[in-house]
Amino acid sequence: MTDITTDQTAEDNAATLTRFDDFGLAPPVLQALADQGYVHPTPIQAQAIPIVLQGRDVMGAAQTGTGKTASFSLPIIQLLMAHANASASPARHPVRALILTPTRELADQVAENVKAYSRHTPLRSAVVFGGVDMTPQTAALRSGVEILIATPGRLLDHVQQKTLNLSQTQIFVMDEADRMLDMGFLPDLQRIINLLPKQRQNLMFSATFSPEIKKLAASFLDKPVLIEVARSNATADRVTQVVYRVDEEAKRDAVVHMLRGRDLKQVLVFSNTKIGASRLSRELERQGIKAAPIHGDKTQNERMAALEAFKNGSIDVLVATDVAARGLDIAELPCVINYDLPYSAEDYVHRIGRTGRAGASGDAWSLYSDKDARLLADIEKLIRQKLTPTELEDFAGRGPRHADDTSHTERAARPDRSERRPADRGERTSADRPRPAPNAAPRRDKVDPWFLKPYEPSAPVEPASEPVVSSNIKNSPPVRRAALLGGGSKS
């Protein structure tokens, strides 16, 4: 790869191409867009779609919620229309476009968008990700698909099982590339890239581009065009960001206070830990607020069920870890709450990008305690914006706690489980054991005096004398000796 360039033509396209009709897309694709109610492209779509249609490599950086998925899926469908056919033979439907995503949720949502945009074409698409049975995925792959959306691990599983052939892949897309590196997918990405043909088109899209991402891009992109709709790592202007100063022990009560006092529905709350997400969800349920957790310890079916319940309004609050921060596309999400400030400042951009999507406005509230000073400073440095903590109105502080509802601090102070011995099992606890007197000498076990004697060599053993043969048996026949099991002999 040579230099990364910013094509002025892309910026000009954003000003002149104001309708999807202007891109020269095939009628079936335009019909699908009309079915979705889409008429005008977003800035990232207006700049990226013409460049991708030219067959050039692209690095696309845009704020979360600005339509990155359509900016690569629409031109991919258009480019593959030349290979579209209605043949029933799987050989006529090889994988021609591969889209990699870091999480199962994002893969599923990208697949839904691709399916919607290609619904009026003969092109086939499929999605493969972990956490579910491979059998239906294998059947879909063997029937033939042109567009495959996958997570890296499950993709390599199918490659190993020889149910997937990538030798005819023409377009390779890496979505949310920075998240893939954060999750440790770099070795898998390198293996996948080595499986692809050398001649192909490469597209990389993400909300943030760190130096590590640019280094990865340099390893496989060929003269890419850098498209940045907004300043790198910027947050959406329509999202109102507020940081509330709250004691660490009072954070759960603060979330309940905000949800009840402002009558919020459809709220996404982020926690840094899986156990924290589960505990907060249980606390909200105790307070009469419909909530559900979504994190890595949940099965894929449980996560999808919780996400679907949140989308259809069955629950009001979804408590998530950063596994759900990327790619969640929830219409009219009014508010995001950071119960914990994220450890990675880039994750803050992605978290609050869940609200204020597609031109709508939204709120992003974060709870801040004294231990979060460094995390807040990192966020301010990244987004180049000062976030001054304020007091939460009409909030008195920590409320009553349930007996089984302990804070992280309390949990950390407990001894390890292996050190706790239940007394009801007949075992002696430390309180039952006799304590030595303060001035008592240390206890010593009795030692056998034999072990204290100096070494004494054994007396030499004299050779045994020849047995005396009685004269009265001199002429008797020889006696046959038989060996015993114990090593002796028997006459």
Helix (DSSP H) and strand (DSSP E) numbers for the chain:
16, 16
Ordered domains of the chain (ranges, CATH): 8-228 (3.40.50.300), 239-410 (3.40.50.300)
Q: Please report the pLDDT score of residue 463 as a whole number.
A: 56
Q: Please report the pLDDT score of residue 328 as a whole number.
A: 63
Tens of pLDDT, residues 258-278: 998 887 888 999 999 999 999
Average pLDDT score over residue span 74-100: 95
Pairing of strands 317-320, 147-150: unpaired
The torsion angles phi and psi of 212, rounded to 5 degrees, stand at: -65, -40
- Inter-residue contact 355 to 335 (CB < 8 Å): yes
DSSP 281-345: HHHHHHTT--EEEESTTS-HHHHHHHHHHHHTTS-SEEEE-GGGTSS---TT--EEEESS--SSH
Which pTM was predicted? 0.63
Q: For residues 491 and 389, what is the distance between their CA atoms, to the nearest angstrom? A: 103
Most confident option among 248-252, 301-305, 322-326: 248-252
Average pLDDT score over residue span 422-449: 47
Q: For residues 110 and 102, what is the distance between their CA atoms, to the nearest angstrom? A: 12
Q: For residues 125 and 462, what is the distance between their CA atoms, to the nearest angstrom? A: 95
Check pLDDT > 70 for residue 490. Answer: no
Check pLDDT > 80 for residue 237. Answer: no
Most confident option among 219-228, 344-353, 416-425: 219-228
Higher pLDDT, 10 or 477: 477
**CA angle at residue 80 from 61 to 126, to 5 degrees?**
80
- Inter-residue contact 253 to 398 (CB < 8 Å): yes
Pairing of strands 291-294, 489-490: unpaired
Q: Please report the pLDDT score of residue 212 as a whole number.
A: 80
Terminal CA-CA length for the chain: 95
What percentage of the chain has pLDDT greater than the value 70?
72
The DSSP secondary-structure symbol of 226 reads: E
Q: Please report the pLDDT score of residue 447 as a whole number.
A: 56
Tens of pLDDT, residues 378-396: 999 988 899 999 998 888 7
Q: Please report the pLDDT score of residue 301 as a whole number.
A: 84
Check pLDDT > 90 for residue 329. Answer: no
Higher pLDDT, 478 or 108: 108
Check pLDDT > 50 for residue 139. Answer: yes
**CA angle at residue 319 from 313 to 324, to 5 degrees?**
95
Check pLDDT > 50 for residue 189. Answer: yes
Q: For residues 184 and 181, what is the distance between their CA atoms, to the nearest angstrom? A: 5
